[in-house]
Structure 1
């Protein structure tokens, strides 16, 4: 929290006020559940989730004192929206970040501060290691050629610069009526992520026993179960 307060103080000292916060720090410690250590889990949650919390808290205090509103932009991930193999810590932290965006949007509304989460997909040192992407990204980096349409449109994956337009928009006055949203961006794709909601509901007089749920699950609320996980990318056939 001390670092977050120093960041806020530095911004105010250099620019006179704090109007926009973007929380983008992150690390990875990928391992499957049965191999993930306490240290792996704590390190990722501390940087992503606690780091977002402490920085946003410091910014919220300052923005409320200023009384002129503000913009808080949090960085999520498709892993937090869908889950991802080997990323217990990262997916949990990123899901928590979007939940915080929805919560803070309510809490800071009266202060005129909007809070939104960006869910980016971009070619970084991390995504360059994905086998189906690696040769295409390496070729584009070597030749300077643009990324192919199947990557930019179908996968929604582009460059880091492709994410900047959305962040700039959310930091501007043009987005003053947008808050509590999770917005995806990558390559040529811009998307609004849905929030969790009840998909199917059933009632039983007196409540539900385990036997009653087992008897009615597959034809009732469980008839169309939700999907999970990030779909494996597929390059077009040559």
Structure 2
């Protein structure tokens, strides 16, 4: 897909998934503002993109504060004249069981993921509306936000909130022809490398390029960061103009569409529900459709 003439910002793009997104956008012809809290990582990413003919500039800063978000948009306009695409990938982890999690650990993750997405999208949408010719907002969620995950109260809440905001923004931005979608990637990153089932395969891939096995790529929908980048390029393109308000999963050989929350079973009673009536009715009605929670454990090779 040809993104020539388009300008993108990718947050948290110094390494991992963010770097894959920024590289793929640049390879498709977009000019990219590479953001990262680590200035050295941002500069290094730009050098790699420029080394293969891409156009990019670095703008360091930890997302969250409004000032950082506005600076990113200002840099895009100053360097390239406009803004067409925003990818909010930046994030941090502070994993801890609920009863051990501190206020600071909770607030840090919420500030970077949730507030950082909000402030960056707000600044980008203001610019896109001013330009008057649409735009593409791509926010990044996680399976943890869709299903929950042990030890990730803060992260799961933030990622669930990001997808909820995307649904709302897709409606608010529709008149301005700005699409808003959430990407739910599953890939070999610093976080997934700590999972015992994935670790040896990620290490082999990082060490000498050994391909990830089929049971991971297809069975678990787990791949490299580059595997997730194609979806971002598609959502940044003119071809995706009709796609908005969606949560789209990508990883390895799998592309998926996540369901939005909806009522799956309903019971009615004239006059409403008392506790004893709920207890009597529950097993034969709503209780027959319990929803599972948590990210399923890898099944391993068959």
How many matched pairs?
237
Query: Structure 1: which 4+ aligned runs deviate by more than 4 Å?
Result: none
How far is 1:139 from its partner? Answer: 1.9
How many angstroms apart in 2 are the aligned matches of 1:22 and 1:146? 27
1:60 aligned to 120, 125, 143, which one?
125
Are 1:214 and 2:279 an aligned pair?
yes
- Mean Cα displacement is larger for which, 64-73 or 228-237? 228-237
How far is 1:126 from its partner? Answer: 0.9
TM-score, with structure 1 as normaliser: 0.98
How far is 1:140 from its partner? Answer: 2.4
2:81 aligned to 1, 11, 16, which one?
16
Are 1:33 and 2:98 an aligned pair?
yes
Where does residue 252 of structure 2 map in the other structure?
A: 187
How far is 1:27 from its partner? Answer: 0.2
Superposed, which structure 2 residues align to 1:139-158 within 5 Å?
139-158=204-223
How far is 1:234 from its partner? Answer: 2.5
* CA deviation map 1:183-221 (0-9, x unaligned): 000001000000000000000110001111011101111
Superposed, which structure 2 residues align to 1:1-238 within 5 Å?
1-236=66-301
How many angstroms apart in 2 are the aligned matches of 1:11 and 1:155? 37
How many angstroms apart in 2 are the aligned matches of 1:99 and 1:109? 16
TM-score, with structure 2 as normaliser: 0.77
How many angstroms apart in 2 are the aligned matches of 1:45 and 1:140? 32
How many angstroms apart in 2 are the aligned matches of 1:15 and 1:210? 62
Computed over aligned residues only, the root mean square deviation of the Cα atoms, in angstroms, reads 0.8
Higher relative contact order (CA 8 A, sep 6+): 1
Secondary structure of 1:183's match? Answer: strand
How far is 1:142 from its partner? Answer: 2.3
How many angstroms apart in 2 are the aligned matches of 1:233 and 1:39? 32
How far is 1:224 from its partner? Answer: 1.5
- Which runs of 5 or more residues in structure 2 are unaligned? 1-65
How far is 1:76 from its partner? Answer: 0.2
How many angstroms apart in 2 are the aligned matches of 1:139 and 1:75? 27
How far is 1:146 from its partner? Answer: 1.0
